[in-house]
């Protein structure tokens, strides 16, 4: 019996050791990319997107719901990214040298918002702020992040309109269809729940419900 207890104790200790070792490995390999934008004349006026190498991404914004609305709202959302999008974000960050060197053009171009890209892992970190960058990797990453924000903000507005202004849903979904056709509406899966709710809502007109269904089908979601 004493021998059996010693063996069990050894296995337990070994398990704790390996679990601790795996946690240390995860902490060493974990990384994150953060994009923020401040643009007072846009909707939203401020937002940030945090993309970890593992786990859920996080989005936070504040500002008016739309250009013709006085309603303001803080928006927080944890969401899952597809592996392809996550991988592309980290590939582009590597091509941009992890934002450890100046990425702004410093030219007199139209102001399109104060943007910041940041990268952090166990070995390196970098943060750069810019208006416009001539770096192709930064340009692609900026477009991807802005399009991702647009998708999530559509979901935010759809949620509001479904509860308080159902007639506004159709115009919003039509805009989404236009962007989807031009491949400017990434990660529709992140807002799948609200699209499903619209499809199932008998109080929403059929044309609008059909638009939501088409968006789901175009994104390969059923």
pLDDT of 73? 78
Predicted pLDDT at 190: 97
pLDDT confidence of residue 20: 39
Sheet with 46-52: list strands edge to edge: 72-79, 57-64, 46-52, 31-38, 114-121, 125-130
Residue 42 confidence (pLDDT): 87
So what's the pLDDT on residue 27? 41
Would you state the pLDDT for residue 15? 45
Distance CA(128)–CA(98), nearest Å, equals: 9
How far is it, in rounded angstroms, from Cα 210 to Cα 128?
43
pLDDT averaged over 10-residue windows placed end to end, the chain, 222 residues: 45 41 47 96 93 96 73 88 96 98 95 97 96 98 98 96 96 98 97 98 97 97 84
Q: What local confidence, expressed as pLDDT, does residue 41 receive?
A: 84
For position 10, what pLDDT does the model report? 40
**Coil, strand or helix: which one is 111?**
coil
Q: How far apart are CA 102 and CA 128, in angstroms?
A: 6
Q: Is the peptide bond before 44 cis (omega within 30 degrees of 0)?
A: yes
| Domain residue limits, the chain | 2-218
Query: 173, 201 in Cβ contact below 8 A?
Result: no
Pairing of strands 72-79, 57-64: antiparallel
Report the Cα 147 to chain-centroid distance in Å. 9
- What b/e sequence results for 55-73 when a residue is b if at least 16 CB atoms lie within 10 Å of its CB, and e otherwise? eebbbebebebbeeeeeee
pLDDT value of position 99: 98
């Amino acid at each position: 019996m004493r021998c059996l207890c010693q063996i069990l104790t050894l296995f337990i200790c070994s398990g704790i050791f390996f679990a601790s070792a795996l946690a240390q490995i995860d902490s060493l390999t974990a990384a994150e990319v953060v994009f923020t934008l401040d643009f007072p004349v846009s909707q939203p006026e401020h937002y940030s997107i945090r993309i970890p190498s593992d786990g859920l991404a996080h989005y936070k914004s504040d500002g008016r719901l739309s250009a013709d609305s006085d309603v303001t709202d803080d928006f927080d959302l944890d969401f899952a990214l597809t592996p392809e999008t996550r991988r592309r974000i980290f590939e582009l960050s590597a091509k941009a040298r992890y934002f450890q060197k100046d990425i702004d053009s410093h030219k007199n171009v139209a102001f399109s918002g104060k943007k910041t890209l940041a990268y952090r892992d166990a070995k390196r970190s970098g943060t750069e702020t810019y208006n416009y960058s001539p770096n192709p990797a930064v340009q692609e990453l900026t477009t991807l992040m802005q399009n991702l924000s647009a998708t999530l903000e559509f979901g935010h507005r759809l949620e509001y309109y479904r509860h308080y202004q159902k007639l506004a849903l159709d115009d919003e979904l039509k805009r989404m269809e236009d962007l989807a056709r031009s491949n400017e509406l990434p990660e529709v899966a992140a807002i799948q729940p609200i699209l499903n709710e619209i499809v199932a809502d008998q109080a929403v007109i059929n044309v609008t419900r059909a638009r939501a269904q088409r968006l789901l089908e175009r994104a390969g979601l059923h």
